[in-house]
Amino acid sequence: MPEVPQPIPLRPITPPVLPPTATEFLTHLRMPDPKPSLKNITNSNAYIDQVITHLYSSQKLTLTDDDLSRAIVHHHRLLTAHTMDIKDVKASLVQVKKDLLEKIHGISMNITRVNQKLQAQSKSVVYIAILMAHTYNLSFGDGHDCPYVVVSSPMGRSPAEGDFWTGRNLLPPLECVDDFCALEDAQLDGYIHGYNITFPQQWILCQEKLTLLRYYIGCQANALFTSLPAYLPFYPQQLKSQLWR
C-alpha cells in the first residue's frame, strides 16, 4: 500500500511590511497609459519627470536609500506588468538608467551608489524576462500596497493553488516568500517544478534556486536590489555585457 504523502513542515512565513513612508509615494504615482507598452513607459520624458517629481518634490537636499528603493520597486512593478520584448527591455532599461541619473544630477547623494542600484534593478527585470518568457502578471498579492510582488506562472497557476510534490512528499503551497532557507534542495526542486519555472542551464546551485523562488513568488522591496548582484553567477554573460558596456 503506497505511503500517504505528508506535508513537510516549514517555518512560519512572515509577510513583509510596507514602510509607512512608501504608501503615499505609491498612491500618488500614475501610469501614463492604462495599458502602456514597455517602450513608452521607459522612454517617456513625462513618465520620468513624474517619477522624479514625486520622489524629490519634498525639497530634500539629500536622497536616502529608502527614497531610491521605492522608486526602484515602482519601476519593477511597471516594467513587469505587461508583455515585454527582450530587445526593447535591453534598450529601454539603459535609457531609463541614463535619464534617471541625469535628472538627479546635483542632488547630494553618492551617484555610484545610485548607479549600482539601478544596475541591479535592470538585471533583475531582464533576467525575469529570460526565465518567464514574455508574459507577466504583477500584483501586490493582497490588494494593498505591499513591498513585494507576485508573478503568476506561465500556466496561470497562482502561488496558493495546487499541490507541490517532491517524490512521495507533499509540499505545502506558499503565498509569499520570507524564508526558503529551511528547505532542502529536493524540496526547492518541487516548488520550481510546480511553478513551471525554467532556466537556461541544465542545473543550478541551491542558492540560485532560492533566488528564483524569491523573485517568482514574492520579493521584499529592500531585497530587490541589495541581494540580487551576489546571487547572479549564472546570469547570461552575453546579455550582461550588452547591458552594461
**Average of per-residue pLDDT across 129-158:** 30
47-56, 78-87, 103-112, 202-211 — most confident range = 202-211
Q: Quick check: helix, strand or coil at residue 140?
A: coil
CB 177 within 8 A of CB 219: yes
Q: Is the pLDDT of residue 192 over 70?
A: yes
**CA nearest neighbour of 77 among 151, 15, 156, 177:** 151
Higher pLDDT among residues 119 and 76, named by residue: 119
Q: Quick check: helix, strand or coil at residue 169?
A: strand
**Average of per-residue pLDDT across 168-173:** 67
Tell me the DSSP string of 213-238.
HHHHH---HHHHHHTTGGG-TTS-HH
